[in-house]
A and B are shown apart, each in its own frame.
Chain A
Amino acid sequence: MVLFVIFCPIVAAMLIMVGAPARKTALAASVSAFAAALFLLLSFDHNQTDFQRVTSFTISPEWHLSFTTGVDGLSLVMVLLATIVTLAAVWFTGTVERQENAFYACLLFISGGAIGAFASIDLFFFYAFHELALIPTFLLIGIWGSGNRVAAAWKITIYLAIGSFILLLGLILLYQSLPVAARSFDIRALDAAARLGQISAGAQRHVYLLLLTGFGILISLFPFHTWAPEAYASAPAPAAMLHAGVLKKFGLYGLLRLAVPLLPEGAHHWANLLVVLLLCNIIYVGLVTIAQKRLDWMLGYSSVMHMGYIFLGIASATVLSMTGAVILMFAHGLSIALLFALAGELRERTGTLIFDELGGLGKVMPFASLAFGFGVFAAIGLPGLANFAGEIMIFFGAFKNGWEMNRFHIFQIATALALWGVVISTVYMLRAYRKTFMGTMDERWKGIVDLRFSLRLPIAVLIGALLCYGFFPQSFVRIVTPAFRTDLVTNKR
């Protein structure tokens, strides 16, 4: 079943490349992948903490390399997120003016790559599947992008390529830091070795730094974030939805899956650095976001800023904050996809996303205005929407903190400062909402029509999921928490 979820989009993309009807095939693939992911969720065995539905094909015995897939709570949530956003993105694509087949194939490759990375238990395929998205992203932004698409496409591609090769070095170093007999690319074997303390503290520090840099570039951690807003602003809406909503979560998933549980010493050693960087993500990028004059750029920056909260959850390494980080990853994926989808529709109708030219669109587009409001409130973190559940868990967890030093320590300061991030995001989100949907409307926009009924459905799915897990986050917490080890070195201190 896991294999079906992974290969459904990939096979569909190949069929589309050889000439199958693009939209129908893509929709069928994303609906069936979503259905399969739902099935995985419903049939998930809560009593089992290990990976479930594992299938394995040996590739190279001497390298202990095999194509192994399976899901535990953490990866299941991510797979679910990927399939929901894929469905929404494909649905929102509609007809593409030129090279329609290539567009859908690229979207499905990104989606299949992300799902494959989340569901791989083998490090090699975990890495390789993520890279599957690289070239399609380049093409999507380059061919169908808007604005400064050429520069944006180059920037994202080079950044991500270098980031992934740094990550690759980290993974190789991780593999080599194990004793020869224990070397394996299997995450379960690595985890067992880490529990036995087979990774020396020195090696943990090196590997963690490499992984943090590599994943950090992919997630747009503070000094490496400049590719993200530009790329998301120029990308066609479905590509931005998938990339900001799903693919960027790959790095966070990697940190949660590998860096913290396998390298607790390294995580502890570099925690202060990470806290400083993530505060820059929240405060500095937050202020930059306020200064934006275009909706698409503002959304791009806001997605960079929100990564800061998730980093806070990972850096503080308590079970509570890491669970919160996963919920926020899920919620942020849905809310940013919703916002990018609506921004894309707006751009299609008005041809501009500059705040000064927009305004009063709520009168002609009541549904879009309502949906955008939901997205805005979710992004701010209003109770009742899933983001709130994630953020509050992160803040509580970080304030309590995994390292449990007895004084007023850096994590408490960081939490206090990060709370101001909520204020900052309230400012820019509400301002964007006011400038776009409220106020006086320009004469030009009188003829604009609201979203078609068929487009309201994916929006409703996204909002429904946000509300559902906003009111019942416990259903996710129950799945996710067992995936985290409660015996982390950090938790014992």
Chain B
Amino acid sequence: MTITAPELEIAVLVIGMAILLLEAFATKIDRRILAFVAIAGLALVLMASFFVSPSASTSQATGFWSFYTADRLSIFFKQFSLLTTIFVLILMTDYAPVLRSSFPGTSLQAGLGEFFTLPIFTCVGLMSLVSAIDFVFIFVSLELVTISFYVLVSFTRRNPSTLEAGTKYLVLSALSTAFLVYGIAWIFGVTGQTNLQQIAEALANPATDRTGALLGMVLILVALGFKIAAVPFQIWVPDVYQGAPTPVTAFLSVGSKAAGFVVLIRVVQPFLVLPQTERLIAAIALLTLIYGNLAALPQANLKRLLAYSSIAHAGYLLIGVACFDTSAIGFYLAAYLLMTLLSFAVLIIVAQQTGEEIADFDGLAKRSPFLAFAMLIGMISLAGVPFTAGFLGKFFIFYVAIAQHQTALVVVGVVTVGCGFYYYLKVIRAMYWQSADKIDKIAVNGVSRLAISALIIATIWLGVYPQPILDALKR
């Protein structure tokens, strides 16, 4: 039996529906069981995804296959989305006690069912988004992702800052969608196509109106800039990241960003014939690097720091987009997945005991050496210390940037890496130098311990032996 790529999305969708039904009819069970059922289901789909053979799409493809591609890149990012969702669900089970407290008056487990189901639907959206090669399909998948995030971001709605985050996300996201539609309309008007490959062919034709196409592309860049948190479309990021429930923040910063970058790569490709495209992206990358890193310097709240760090990492990824190197971006995103989820996993556990400020991590090395070590690995990987995945990500990015003589990007990149060392090491400093007021141990349950250990090992493993990811990304 062969498995085709769309069957993966269908399977995930079925898992999501099944969990919803299970929640509706089996009211007596502990809702956390639902999460574990979902994790098991997604893990099965993840395993199945390795049996899908990639197939490159052609411009002659018709029907469904003119919307949808099952190339290597998309398979890789489908696996990426599944893995992210699995880890987010694990984080959510840790976060469940916090959720209870924000639904006063109702039963202990109110809302947990939806909380565990929505990420699965987001995952379906992410998985189809990375396969989308037609603007119509890109739009539909993107909306599936965004709408489920509307709900997730404002899930703990009794909390004023969450409500603020939800509103901000809703309004700005809707605005960016409008930009996207407007851009698609312009491009359709100029080329008469919505399929990306046919757009590329139309643009290669000198008779096509390039000014109109450029305008359309800029509008789409605005919309995607919002998704990947690139400057100057990053204003929503700090507040939304800080206000949203922490597992959702992790999901936003990993899943949403990765899908945004895959779409960006696919959308930018036809427009590379326009000389302005590369310069435009390089300029955005420069701004993003500078803003993200400088604004992260004074942060005292770890969740907010990670928000700015996510902007900064978008900057490094945009260097890869400006150089148009898919495997460098893919590797960086894989590394980013590991280290970001690792940091958020520790943050969720520690925040329930003390808080989200960096000062709340004081003396963590004594309270829980395991969590402190996990955070240490997460932070040095984000900063880019060798023998971690984050370093190799930066290495590949700088490699392609130097190969393509992007001197400005390289120079700014190196200076901002220096900034990065400062604000990531601030966390290490809190955990190891400072002494804490509290000295009681922090307990970590078995599943989280396993997940965190897996992330630590994967971060170091990829930092020493990157070949598996490079092979998976090879065209």
- The interface of chain A, by Cβ under 8 A from chain B, is 17, 59-60, 62, 99, 102, 127-129, 131-132, 134-135, 138-139, 142-143, 154, 157-158, 161-162, 165-166, 168-169, 172-173, 176
Contact = CB atoms under 8 A, between A and B. Distances in A.
A138 B428 contact: yes
Contacts of A139: 428, 432-433
A134 B387 CA distance: 12
Nearest to A173: B402
B467 A127 contact: no
A62 B410 CA distance: 23
B153 to A, nearest CB: 34
Given A127-B386, A128-B387, A138-B425, 16 more contacts: A59-B464, A59-B467, A128-B386, A132-B386, A132-B387, A138-B428, A138-B429, A139-B432, A139-B433, A142-B429, A158-B418, A162-B421, A165-B384, A166-B414, A172-B399, A176-B403
Contacts, number: 75
A112 B417 CA distance: 25
A131 B421 contact: no
Contacts of A161: 383, 417-418, 421
Given A135-B385, A173-B402, A176-B402, A143 B432 contact: yes
14 contacts: A59-B465, A60-B466, A62-B470, A102-B365, A102-B432, A131-B387, A139-B433, A154-B422, A157-B421, A158-B421, A161-B418, A162-B414, A166-B414, A168-B395
Contacts of A138: 425, 428-429
Contacts of A168: 395, 398
A156 to B, nearest CB: 11
A143 B466 CA distance: 34
A154 B402 CA distance: 29
Nearest to A160: B421
A143 B433 contact: yes
B391 interface: yes
Contacts of B383: 161
B345 interface: no
A165 B465 contact: no
B470 A60 contact: yes
B449 to A, nearest CB: 15
A247 to B, nearest CB: 15
Interface of A is mostly: helix
Contacts of A169: 398, 402, 410, 414
Interface of B: 365, 373, 376, 380, 383-387, 391, 395, 398-399, 402-403, 410, 414-415, 417-418, 421-422, 425, 428-429, 432-433, 464-467, 470
B231 to A, nearest CB: 22
Contacts of B417: 161-162, 165
Contact of A165 (B414, B425, B464): B414
B386 A131 contact: yes
B398 A172 contact: yes
B391 A128 contact: yes
Given A142-B432, A169-B398, A173-B402, A162 B415 contact: yes
A129 B410 CA distance: 23
B383, B385, B421 — most chain A CB neighbours (10 Å): B421
Contacts of B432: 102, 139, 142-143
Given A62-B470, A172-B399, A158 B386 contact: no
Contact of A172 (B373, B386, B402, B415): B402
A154 B414 CA distance: 17
Contacts of B384: 165
A139 B403 CA distance: 36
A476 B174 CA distance: 72
A264 B444 CA distance: 57
A5 to B, nearest CB: 18
Nearest to B373: A17
Nearest to A58: B467
Contacts of B415: 162
Contacts of B425: 135, 138, 154, 157
B443 to A, nearest CB: 19
Contact of A60 (B376, B387, B402, B467): B467
A139 B430 CA distance: 11
Interface centre among A102, A128, A132, A134 (most CB of B within 10 A): A128
Contacts of A143: 432-433
Nearest to B415: A162
Contacts of B373: 17
Contacts of A127: 386
A493 to B, nearest CB: 31
Contacts of B464: 59
A484 to B, nearest CB: 28
A364 to B, nearest CB: 35
Contacts of A17: 373
Nearest to A163: B418
A102 B369 CA distance: 11
Contacts of A142: 429, 432-433
A157 B429 CA distance: 12
Nearest to A61: B467
B385 A162 contact: no
Contacts of B421: 157-158, 161-162
Contact of B380 (A102, A135, A154, A173): A135
Contacts of B387: 128, 131-132
A17 B372 CA distance: 12
Contacts of B403: 176
Nearest to A98: B435
B260 to A, nearest CB: 27
A289 B153 CA distance: 59
A142 B435 CA distance: 12
Looking at B380, B403, B415, B432, the one whose CB has the most chain A CB atoms below 10 A away is B432
